[in-house]
Chains A and B, each alone.
Chain A
Amino acid sequence: TEGPPSCPKGCDRCSEYNGCVKCKPKLFIFLERNDIRQVGVCLASCPVGYFGMRNPEGNNRCTQCKIDNCEACFNRNFCTKCKEGLYSHSGRCYVSCPPGQRTANETMEC
């Protein structure tokens, strides 16, 4: 079933000023910055620097990764893809591997 005609794709409820305010089940709401406004859009997967937090009520949201030098994360504290040239170890990103860790250059991991 499609949401109201004026709502963006994947959206169940929206407002003219704030875009989507409630997405269809299973999708994530992401607050896109538009000048001083934040406009809600509905995504199947969250953009770079964000991860999808699901909850039983279905208010799934894109939430910011809190790890330095991280492009994609599993949760707030565990990075799944570090920025180019950095090594990953236990979900964190390093310029060089911590002491005692060997460098695996092919996968950029310690």
Chain B
Amino acid sequence: AGVRVDGSGDAEAGRASCPGRCRCELDGLLLRVDCSDLELRAVPSDLSVFTSYLDLSMNNMTLISAGALSSLHFLQELRLPGNDLSFIPKGAFAGLYNLKVLMLQNNQLRSVPAEAFNNLHNLQSLRLDANHISGVPAGSFSGLRSLRHLWLDDNALTEVPAEALSELPALQAMTLALNHIRHVPDHAFSALGRLVVLHLNNNRIVSMGTNCFHGLHSLETLDLNYNQLMEFPTAIRSLRHLKELGFHSNKIQSIPDHAFTGNPSLTTVFFYDNPIQSVGRTAFQNLPELRTLSLNGAAELNEFPDLTGTRSLESLTITGARITSLPTSVCEQLPNLQLLDLSYNQIQSLPSFSACESLQKLDLHHNEVEALEENTFTGLTSLRFLDLSWNRLSTVKPNGFSALPALNRLDLSSNQLSSLPLSGLQTLTHLRLAGNGQLMELIAREDLPRVRWMELPYAFQCCAFISCDRKGGSSWEKEEAVEAAGRDAAVLSSQAEPDWEDFLMEFEDGPKPQHAVHCSPTPGPLRPCRHLLG
């Protein structure tokens, strides 16, 4: 650990001299100097030649004169953020042969200094973010053969500084985010063969050359989020090692066939908040590493996509489209599926999901399913959550739910059921059947031994789960009062009524020791337990 040296400026100590009011720390033979936040107007003149780290952040410096740091041959990190530097002359960093990290963010630069950085051969990280840079002169990065990390985000660039970038053969990570770039030309990054991360998010990119990513052989992360792209960026086709791609929050209306054919390593792709209407049936084929796919509102999509070769998918969400049926081979194609959300489509019949052994959550609400067959859910030993609400279910075969040992949440509300086979539902903790007007049969408590939360079509069906004849018989009045108060409270805060999401949270804590059952509609004087209609 460093040895603290006070700021009294002990000249004899030579190596240990610390400029007035700065805080210094010996680090082996070298010295770490912190002169941040001292309202300094210039670089301290009495810096030790053995300074390896110099922090001049948050001062009032407007200029670094040529040669001001030239004796600091051991300096590895120079921090100058939060000053008022609007110009840096040639020679300002002369002599800094070992400089690795240079921080100039949050200053007043309007252009990258044309020559100040030249020949900093060991520089690895250069921060120029949060200035007012609108231009990067050709040659300004000349000699930076070791530069790995470049920050140019939060500036005023209107174009990609392709020529200047071409002198950075070792660059691995770069951000041009939060600028005003409108177009990415062909070959903009062609010399950046070692670039792994490229952030272009929050620009105004409307168009991209089809070869604009040519040369980016090592790129793994590409961020195009929050731009104005109208077309799918087909230029990504050349990015063979791409793992993470984001182009959400753009204006893209369609994803073409074979869209990701050149990106076999893709694990994550985000494209929500685009007005996507159509999706090529083969758009998501042959993505063996893709884990999650989410597509919402593609109104012109009327066929389930062909996901051949995309076997590692664990979460698939396609909502708000016009899918009418699923291929019988859906589970063979997606053996690792854990979550399938196809809500808000027009699915009329279901295949057998039995090969989807890892499926935990199946969301099919707001479709047009009419019947559940014996084998629809057979073999789904991991299924915990099944939502078929808002369909046209009128028939459920006797053993329709019999082989679901992990199922604890079932929502069949708003369908046309007149009967419900309970075989296999012993593990249920939450059941919704409201909105099935013809379902009048009584449900025996022993058929649902672990249920804790129920919404049934009629109050009398709750009687089996809420003991109606309480001691003293006054509990109705008390309950009525509590319910009335509850309703008033509900008017004030919409979350007073327990809804499905709250109970998803409750589910995480595991079953309650005390087995109280919430059942609605609650029976009461106006909704007696005895079913008057016989």
- With beta carbons under 8 angstroms apart, the residue of A9, A26, A75, A80 that contacts B130 is A26
- A54 adjacent to B81 (CB under 8 Å): no
Interface residues on A, range: 10 to 19
Apart from A44-B103, A55-B178, list 6 A-B contacts with CB within 8 A.
A44-B57, A56-B202, A77-B197, A77-B221, A78-B196, A80-B125
Q: A27-B82, A27-B106, A44-B82 are known contacts. Are A91 and B172 too (CB-CB below 8 A)?
A: yes
Q: A44-B106, A54-B129, A90-B196 are known contacts. Are A78 and B82 too (CB-CB below 8 A)?
A: no
- B172 adjacent to A9 (CB under 8 Å): no
- A80 adjacent to B173 (CB under 8 Å): yes
**For B220, what are the chain A residues with a Cβ–Cβ distance below 8 Å?**
90-91
Q: A9-B58, A90-B218, A90-B220 are known contacts. Are A54 and B154 too (CB-CB below 8 A)?
A: yes
- A54 adjacent to B196 (CB under 8 Å): no
- A55 adjacent to B202 (CB under 8 Å): yes
- B197 adjacent to A91 (CB under 8 Å): yes
In whole angstroms, what is the CA distance A41 to B226 when docked? 28
Closest to B243 in A: A77
In whole angstroms, what is the CA distance A56 to B127 when docked? 18
* Majority secondary structure of chain A interface residues (helix, strand, loop or mixed): loop
- B153 adjacent to A54 (CB under 8 Å): yes
- B221 adjacent to A75 (CB under 8 Å): yes
- B148 adjacent to A80 (CB under 8 Å): yes
Whether B149 sits at the interface, judged by CB under 8 Å, is yes
A–B Cβ pairs within 8 angstroms, 28 of them: A9-B37, A10-B82, A26-B154, A44-B57, A44-B81, A45-B81, A45-B103, A52-B129, A54-B129, A54-B153, A54-B154, A54-B178, A55-B178, A74-B175, A75-B199, A77-B197, A78-B172, A78-B173, A78-B197, A78-B221, A80-B124, A80-B148, A80-B149, A80-B173, A90-B218, A90-B220, A91-B197, A91-B220
Convert A72-97 into 0s and 1s, putting 1 for each residue whose CB lies closer than 8 angstroms to a CB of B.
00110110100000000011000000
In whole angstroms, what is the CA distance A55 to B202 when docked? 8
In whole angstroms, what is the CA distance A82 to B461 when docked? 63
In whole angstroms, what is the CA distance A75 to B197 when docked? 9
Whether B177 sits at the interface, judged by CB under 8 Å, is yes
- A74 adjacent to B173 (CB under 8 Å): yes
Point out which of B106, B124, B226 has the most chain A C-beta atoms below 10 A from its C-beta.
B106
Could you tell me the distance in whole angstroms from the C-beta of A28 to the nearest C-beta in chain B?
9
In whole angstroms, what is the CA distance A80 to B124 when docked? 9
| Ranked 5 nearest A-B pairs via Cβ | A44-B81, A44-B82, A26-B130, A74-B173, A26-B106
**For B226, what are the chain A residues with a Cβ–Cβ distance below 8 Å?**
56
| Interchain Cβ contacts within 8 Å, total number | 66
Interface size on B, residues (CB 8 A): 33
Could you tell me the distance in whole angstroms from the C-beta of A109 to the nearest C-beta in chain B?
9
**For A54, what are the chain B residues with a Cβ–Cβ distance below 8 Å?**
129-130, 153-154, 177-178
Interface residues of B in 118-161 (CB under 8 A from A): 124-125, 127, 129-130, 146, 148-149, 153-154
In whole angstroms, what is the CA distance A26 to B128 when docked? 12
Interface residues of B in 333-392 (CB under 8 A from A): none
**For A91, what are the chain B residues with a Cβ–Cβ distance below 8 Å?**
172-173, 196-197, 220
**For B432, what are the chain A residues with a Cβ–Cβ distance below 8 Å?**
none
Interface residues of B in 196-216 (CB under 8 A from A): 196-197, 199, 202
**For B146, what are the chain A residues with a Cβ–Cβ distance below 8 Å?**
107
In whole angstroms, what is the CA distance A45 to B130 when docked? 11
Whether B79 sits at the interface, judged by CB under 8 Å, is yes
- A90 adjacent to B172 (CB under 8 Å): yes
Whether B105 sits at the interface, judged by CB under 8 Å, is yes
**For B148, what are the chain A residues with a Cβ–Cβ distance below 8 Å?**
80
Could you tell me the distance in whole angstroms from the C-beta of B101 to the nearest C-beta in chain A?
8
Closest to B154 in A: A54
Interface residues of B in 60-101 (CB under 8 A from A): 79, 81-82
Interface residues of B in 171-186 (CB under 8 A from A): 172-173, 175, 177-178
**For B221, what are the chain A residues with a Cβ–Cβ distance below 8 Å?**
75, 77-78
